[in-house]
Structure 1
Amino acid sequence: MRVRLLTAASIFLIFIQAMAGANIDSAYNAKKQLVGFNLDEKGLNNEERQALHFLYAYAPLCDVTDYSQDFYIANVRQTLLTREQMPWGKTIPSGIFMHFVLPLRVNNEPLDSARLVFYKQLKDRVKGLSMKDAILEVNHWCHEHVTYQPSDSRTSSPLQSVKTATGRCGEESTLTVAALRAVGIPARQVYTPRWAHTDDNHAWVEAWADGKWWFMGACEPEAVLNLGWFNAPASRALLMHTRVFGDYDGPEETVLKTSNYTEVNLVGNYAETAKIQFTIVDTQGKPVPNARVEFKIYNYAEFYTAVTKWADAAGRVSLTAGKGDMLVWASRDGQYGWTKATFGKDTALTVKIARHTALPRSIDIVPPPEHPVLPDVPAALTARNKQRLEQEDAMRNAYTATFITPDKAQAYPEEQRPYLVKSRGNHQVILDFLNKYSGQQERALKLLSTLTDKDLRDVTMQVLDDNMTARSNQLSPRVEAEPLRPFKHFFEQKFAAEATRYKANPQLLVEWIKKNIRLNPDTKALRYAQSATGVYNYRIADERSRDIFFVDVARSLGIDARKDAVTGKVQYRNSGSNSWIDVKWDKTGQAKATPQGTLVLDYTPIPLHDDLSYYIHFTISKMTGGRMVLQNYDENNCTWASTFKNGAQLDTGTYVLVTGSRMASGTVLATVREFKIEAGHTTTVPLTMRQATGDQVAVIGNFDSESRFNRVDSKSCTIASTPVSLLSCTGRGYYVLGIVGMGQEPSNHALRDIAKVEIGRPVVLLLEDEAAVRKFNASDFNLPAEGITYGVDPDHKILNALKSELKLASDQMPVFVIADTFNRIVYYRQGYTINMGEELRTILGKLK
């Protein structure tokens, strides 16, 4: 039964008061009034009631609208039972337990019953261990079940990751935190929103034992704690955070408090730091209170907002960060200003905001220096850990061997094979679905074609049935990166009386939503996607969930609708029309198509860069309300030549083009250029990439350090049958990769040159095939016995990847590159050049 609902303004005031007073009961009561729910607390003891109130008090909307009270009670009771049964349970302070054991949510994953499942599997495994040893043991268990594989931005739940046996770092860390909490060990996910010295980001885990936080790579167990492949890059990070569920008042620096979480700064645990005080002023020099201040790290060719803070009444805000450069962007009421901040050099900076502020044409961004701290690890422990990892790999591989491989897929119709292979541990669901609708294969396959690879790995039969048997031919259940849940039959029934009118005029559905769905007035609250049915049942949403709700309802009624992937705009098409209409939530009346103009980027190709890639070399952001909003083009298909050379359509407005040339040192030579798009006109903008000067070594390409080859024993010339990755042989950092042709003079000269010098970094030498291996003898070239790994490039996959990336025009050997395990190429040479060994050593010397 629902309780009486308050107005948005009064609810928001209660939230603010609850946060200020750090009062769980106040926050809980405010959440009840905001969402409109009543819990049946009969049968709960006082401890269970307090835990349940805490979870609901700080829950994002989706956790209230989409999960039952029984789900929470089962997890609360299991958590309290675990505290009683685990030997460390009563040694954990109540505040640490409440914030780092009790919460079910780690990040933005869908909630599941992992706590109940993992406890049964882990309780005996950690029996009798100390907390530190139990942390290591849990991580070994995680490695048995999941290994790293990159994927899209949607985060799988812990049980979904186990089912598919893979996960990106955010999913591995979510799994590991969930597993540690399942046995009562406090744990939190730590993430650097973006690396400062290279593109990409990373997430790992901190666990609490004996009064102290320790870190480790999730699903990447080392022999000891406080050790991972990321020790060195973490020492170069600008920012590292964790989101703590609830109103947390710990010893760490608080970055932000919201109605759901407290964000704390952990960069000081890994890197040398410094603090800067910022003052935000207007054109008259007066403080601007409550200005939005975004701290931006250059990464993926954009200035990415890594953390957001709000200025106090005096216009002041401060931040502690690693000792490098950031762009600091302040805005309020459509006005904005910026400054470059160098942590470790600057101590106080002023940012002036105005209606229009000139942007820099060129800006150099320097990351923090590297100062890793590495624990001492006895060799015996390292050897034992390596042996365990191999055993765990074998256990996981035995499970994945039950998946449908390309060879096994030959037993099924050709059109089904890609879906069965991609579905991994979820293949039985996909197979059952295809068999269930064997008489409607065209529709069934069309539905599967709308799903991402990750969707295929965790979609349920309920979701597939719902979309397959719905009346609508809008088959896709996906709007953006939200969890998939059934909704089409639900909305067919709920909007049966209005379906014909809404389909004839989709704007009527927009107006219904404006009238009936309340928006959460707390704009700083988490915006994790609610289910569309949850939005309908509780009649409340944030902007993101409202947008998804509109598209889901529209598609259920047979209306063309989408959330544009590039701009994030919600759009629909009138029946029989090819024009997309933007939904204007803040305007009344019939919506119209947004006027557009054409953007042409003028670029002159140079060697190695005959084309430029979006996110690697450049990005475009739209100025909206004084902020830069990235245009999210498809990273796999968007380049200068494919999209902007001959002109791309953009909405009218002001935009910012950012380009960046990354140096091997991590420094970026960036350019920033502002331009306007006018309706019906073509705007031509220069696309320029700044070049390295002096002793700078530029990043010239990308190459996957996980590429695999077959090792060769240089003494016996035997070839291993199991492929290994480059990364596993080189360790982290820079390495030299050479592909040589045996019996060819250029390759012979190059090998002799390399033998004359001490390269100082790992070297991998790959031969063409088995015949070349039989010809090879390392002693013929006086190659050193240590520091070189020999192998065979199967099917020339590595050579072909280098040829494609570096635009190599022939098969001339040798090919040498210097690359690193962040997938960056900083040097290449095809064919022999005099003193090649010395050239390699010189380049590597500059990289130090």
Structure 2
Amino acid sequence: MRILSPAFASFAQAKFDERAELLKPLASTIAAGLARVDNADVAALIKNYYGTLPLTDVFDADFSVFESIARQAVELRATSPWCRDVDEDIFIHFVATPRVNNEPFVDSWPILRKELAERIAGMSAHDAVLETNYWCCETATYQTADERTLGPLGMLASGNGRCGEESTYLVTALRANGIPARQIYTPLWAHCDDNHAWVEAYVDGEWYYLGACEPEEALNRGWFTAASGRAMLVHTRLFSDYGCDFERDRSILAREGSQVIVNQTAAYGPTVKLTVTVTDEAGEPAPCAYVRLTLVNSAEWGDIAHLIADECGHAQIVIGKGTLRVIAATENQMADTLVDTGECDHVELTLHDVDTAAAAAWRDIDVHAPADHPAPSCPLTPEQAASGRARKHEADQMRTERVAGFVEEARRLANAAGHGKDECLAYYEQAFANAPEVDRFLSVDNGADRVQLLSTLTSKDFRDLTADVLEDHLAGARAMHDAAIAYLEREGAKDAAEELYVKYVLAPRIMFEQLSSFRSYFVETFDAATVEEFRADPRRVWDMICENLDFTASEHVKKLCASPRGAWLSRQGSPVTCRALFVAICRTFGIAARQNPHDRAIEYYHQGAFVAVERAEHTADVTFTSTVEPGPGYFQAWSVARLETSVTVAGTRALGFEALDFWGASVQDGSCTLPLPAGDYRLVCSTRLPNGDTQAAERTFHVSDAGTDKPIELVLREPEASQMLEDIALEAFALRDADGNVVDAAKIAAEHGSDSHPVAISFLEPGMEPTEHLLNELREQAERVAETDLPLVLVISDPSQLDDPTLARTLPTLTGVTIAYDDFTELPEKLARRMFANPEKLPLTVLACKQLDGSLRGVYATAGYNVGTVDLLMKLITLV
């Protein structure tokens, strides 16, 4: 009996047929695979995958992967109590779809089902979701990493990942066991830097949110509850348009390549339907104009949404209430404006030629973040809160022990390996449970180039690499070693030839693509005469790529880079994929090549240096200056964007400013010098206020072949003290004294004055430099603190920390100080996030006022190293 509807079967067949031309290189493989499939529903799902998933998946994954996932999905539809009766479009998009974000495309479902099936069997959907999240916490937790997305199996093997990886992990675990789930994403926060991803699960006909690997005893809870209510955009992704009505829902549905973006912002906070009208210089509608919505994040104008104007020049979107820069562009013209969507729901833009000279003077811009408005949330009973803390503590211990076991086993393998233990130990340790793959690669022979190859990988690579992929790269590079050295020596690198060979020929990693085999394929693909042409002039590789590859934007996802083999086989490649393909072909044939880490342009080694293929080869040193201390950091207080025409998510070309990646650069000793090719640029400086608003300043400048006439001074605006204040309700929290008694900060504040009297609560990390600075400031300004009658609650984790020399010197100088204790496992992070301060840094200082009802309202918070914290507190308490 058929489980899936005739309507879906027809949809899948139609999508499959529409791609027939693109799928020609795989036609015989697909036909043979489908001929073996004896289930019509499985066949329909396979056709759906081939017809709707990004082409990168279609050409990089084996037919067996699609078949396995389809069979499991059909089984779940037939047997799972959690998805058996949900609407078919919910099942197709949020159970049967194997892709969540831009993770590696592999079949991880069997392992995740084996881990969880018995544990959650017989549970309600609600309890199964909570229990799955506890399992995720037992096996993985948060840790920052590079921008390549680790897959669920890599997370399981290593025990940590960033939020996008955690949420992909949980969504995949839920889908693998028949529970509809989706990743929810805010591209950029408006009130602070960075972004975030979390999860929604479908329970009893409704969607509920939860923090991935951050279990609680109820749904619709997470540290991001307050933050998500301030998001300008919250969305999820579909990888097909089954059941979508774009005419009816055009303000919440948008196509981005092969994805459908589903706008979920209204579920989290106040919104407005913004209409953008784009016209040309004659006042006529500008159909197909590319519209970008941007906000200030990490000191740059970053994109949160992309729209395409309709035949009337209109585009609509549901958006949060705050400041946006709306940009409309074609290949040669552009227009932009600032809009506060809390006050305006319609903007009009007229396209024109760009005159950067007119914007060369500094311009101040006040950027308003959405007001504090926590998303709907489910409160916990005291019993639930206590149970949740206990289970979270247990899960943390289980994970710690589990990961320690991985590391211990990895060290055992390293000790037994033929290569030097000291030389390779770190590679085994970074692989965690994947260490056997490292060992399998190193165990083939004792060649030094095996270790050299591993030295080029990122820490994340070790968690999901395979020995077979590395072997393909090593064998290919060995075959080309002599030719590569000859090439490098010919190009003037006699003294550095071996070093360049290792980094830019032997290395499997190009940028942040998924590692894959490609060398043996390209060796078989190109004949000797063509290879000699490549070596004589590496630009010929790029010419060949441009001549042979097409890019059908509607079949791809911008963030997915196809494997080089898949790109050449399919003859399809986004600009990102084509650049990776260039480097891959060059390295295959012994030509040192790379992507520039700053603008990701492709380069090859020529006459003693790396030269660019797409952009001008020459760069000029441009110096930026500042007297601010500590020196402003790039992507923290300032950034530079270059005016250029690039390919949009719709496949068209559009003019715009694209930020350059000089992450890690900062002004030192008053200046910072960046290498910039000739062109027009926009410089943005920003100061983030505690309430989430930003005081920005920007200007344009031109770089000639000779650089700029003089250094450019950064302009960082200085906010008024009153602009540093917030008004945020804080949940009740309990600290303890040395005897275990409750320390009530609100009560301490009341003892020093009226109900609105402030209290400063500081979570300290004695012995660490940021805390040392704060304590030194308190000691130096002790008299001033006493005069203001500001009570201080200094929180530490252990009585032994009272012996810290700086803390011991400071305490006798202070009056009105209370020492309190906390285990620091939850409260500092919770308070920091509620106050929109950095949750990863200590000391955390919160200035709060007692209210008539006995609660506290936060008015200011700061975390980490901030010179002048005490002086600022003294100014602020005069205003509250």
TM-score range (shorter-chain normalised) is 0.7 to 0.9
The aligned counterpart of 1:730 is none
The separation in 2 between residues aligned to 1:100 and 1:764, in whole angstroms, is 45
**Higher relative contact order, structure no. (Cα contacts within 8 Å, ≥ 6 residues apart):** 2
1:524 is displaced (CA, Å) by 7.0
* 1:300 equivalent in alignment to 2:324: no
1:249 to 241, 244, 250: 244
Contact 1:598–1:677 (8 Å) recurs in 2:
no
1:418–1:354 distance in 2 versus 1, CA, 3 Å: same
1:257–1:614 distance in 2 versus 1, CA, 3 Å: same
- Indicate the SS of the match to 2:763: strand
The separation in 2 between residues aligned to 1:107 and 1:628, in whole angstroms, is 26
* 1:839 equivalent in alignment to 2:853: no
The separation in 2 between residues aligned to 1:599 and 1:331, in whole angstroms, is 28
1:826 is displaced (CA, Å) by 9.0
For residue 308 of structure 1, what is the amino acid of its counterpart?
H
The separation in 2 between residues aligned to 1:225 and 1:755, in whole angstroms, is 44
Equivalent positions of 1:343-742 (< 5 A) are 343-356=341-354, 359=359, 361-372=363-374, 373-404=376-407, 413-438=421-446, 440-441=447-448, 443-470=449-476, 471-472=479-480, 473=501, 474-497=505-528, 498-520=530-552, 522=554, 525-526=557-558, 528-574=560-606, 576-583=607-614, 594-601=617-624, 603-606=625-628, 608-609=629-630, 611-625=631-645, 627-636=655-664, 638-641=665-668, 645=671, 647-684=673-710, 685-697=712-724, 714-715=738-739, 736-738=762-764, 739=766
1:757 is displaced (CA, Å) by 5.0
For residue 63 of structure 2, what is the amino acid of its counterpart?
Q
The aligned counterpart of 2:487 is none
The separation in 1 between residues aligned to 2:138 and 2:783, in whole angstroms, is 42
**TM norm structure 1:** 0.81
* Structure 1 unaligned blocks of 5 or more: 1-20, 585-592, 700-710, 718-733, 793-804, 806-813
The separation in 1 between residues aligned to 2:706 and 2:410, in whole angstroms, is 53
The separation in 1 between residues aligned to 2:784 and 2:466, in whole angstroms, is 55
The separation in 2 between residues aligned to 1:23 and 1:827, in whole angstroms, is 58
Contact 1:562–1:572 (8 Å) recurs in 2:
yes
1:152–1:343 distance in 2 versus 1, CA, 3 Å: same
Segment of structure 1 superposing worse, 216-225 or 412-421? 412-421
Contact 2:736–2:820 (8 Å) recurs in 1:
no
Equivalent positions of 1:758-837 (< 5 A) are 763-764=795-796, 769=801, 771-772=803-804, 789=822, 817=845, 824=863
1:326–1:416 distance in 2 versus 1, CA, 3 Å: same
1:27–1:757 distance in 2 versus 1, CA, 3 Å: same
**Deviation per CA, 1:265-291, whole angstroms, max 9, x where unpaired?**
111111111122221122333221111
1:23 is displaced (CA, Å) by 4.4
- Indicate the SS of the match to 2:762: strand
The aligned counterpart of 1:9 is none
Contact 2:257–2:555 (8 Å) recurs in 1:
no
1:26 is displaced (CA, Å) by 2.7
Contact 2:678–2:703 (8 Å) recurs in 1:
yes
- Indicate the SS of the match to 1:640: coil
**Deviation per CA, 1:276-308, whole angstroms, max 9, x where unpaired?**
222112233322111111000110111001110
The separation in 1 between residues aligned to 2:47 and 2:434, in whole angstroms, is 35
The aligned counterpart of 1:26 is 14
Contact 1:147–1:219 (8 Å) recurs in 2:
yes
The separation in 1 between residues aligned to 2:672 and 2:139, in whole angstroms, is 48
Contact 1:617–1:661 (8 Å) recurs in 2:
yes
1:388 is displaced (CA, Å) by 1.2
For residue 466 of structure 2, what is the amino acid of its counterpart?
T
**Deviation per CA, 1:511-533, whole angstroms, max 9, x where unpaired?**
33233333336487545111111
Identity, in percent, stands at: 27
- Indicate the SS of the match to 1:222: coil
For residue 635 of structure 1, what is the amino acid of its counterpart?
W
Contact 1:714–1:777 (8 Å) recurs in 2:
no
1:156 is displaced (CA, Å) by 0.7
**Deviation per CA, 1:780-821, whole angstroms, max 9, x where unpaired?**
9997889653899xxxxxxxxxxxx9xxxxxxxx99955999
The separation in 1 between residues aligned to 2:778 and 2:612, in whole angstroms, is 65
**TM norm structure 2:** 0.78
Contact 2:410–2:435 (8 Å) recurs in 1:
no
1:822–1:565 distance in 2 versus 1, CA, 3 Å: farther
The aligned counterpart of 1:810 is none
1:506 is displaced (CA, Å) by 1.6
The aligned counterpart of 1:3 is none
- Indicate the SS of the match to 1:124: helix
2:315 to 314, 317, 322: 317
The separation in 2 between residues aligned to 1:29 and 1:648, in whole angstroms, is 50
* Structure 2 unaligned blocks of 5 or more: 1-8, 481-500, 646-653, 727-734, 742-759, 826-837, 848-857
1:66 is displaced (CA, Å) by 0.8
CA RMSD of aligned residues (A): 3.8
- Indicate the SS of the match to 1:32: coil
1:195 is displaced (CA, Å) by 0.6
1:421–1:121 distance in 2 versus 1, CA, 3 Å: closer
The separation in 1 between residues aligned to 2:92 and 2:163, in whole angstroms, is 25
1:367 is displaced (CA, Å) by 0.2
For residue 686 of structure 1, what is the amino acid of its counterpart?
E
Contact 1:661–1:698 (8 Å) recurs in 2:
no
**Deviation per CA, 1:434-455, whole angstroms, max 9, x where unpaired?**
34343x23x2232122111111
1:258 is displaced (CA, Å) by 4.6
The aligned counterpart of 1:731 is none
Equivalent positions of 1:184-195 (< 5 A) are 184-195=178-189
- Indicate the SS of the match to 1:77: helix
Segment of structure 1 superposing worse, 735-744 or 284-293? 735-744
Contact 1:244–1:263 (8 Å) recurs in 2:
yes
Aligned length: 757
1:675 is displaced (CA, Å) by 1.0
The separation in 1 between residues aligned to 2:790 and 2:277, in whole angstroms, is 54
Segment of structure 1 superposing worse, 207-216 or 344-353? 344-353
Contact 1:596–1:678 (8 Å) recurs in 2:
no
- Indicate the SS of the match to 2:84: helix
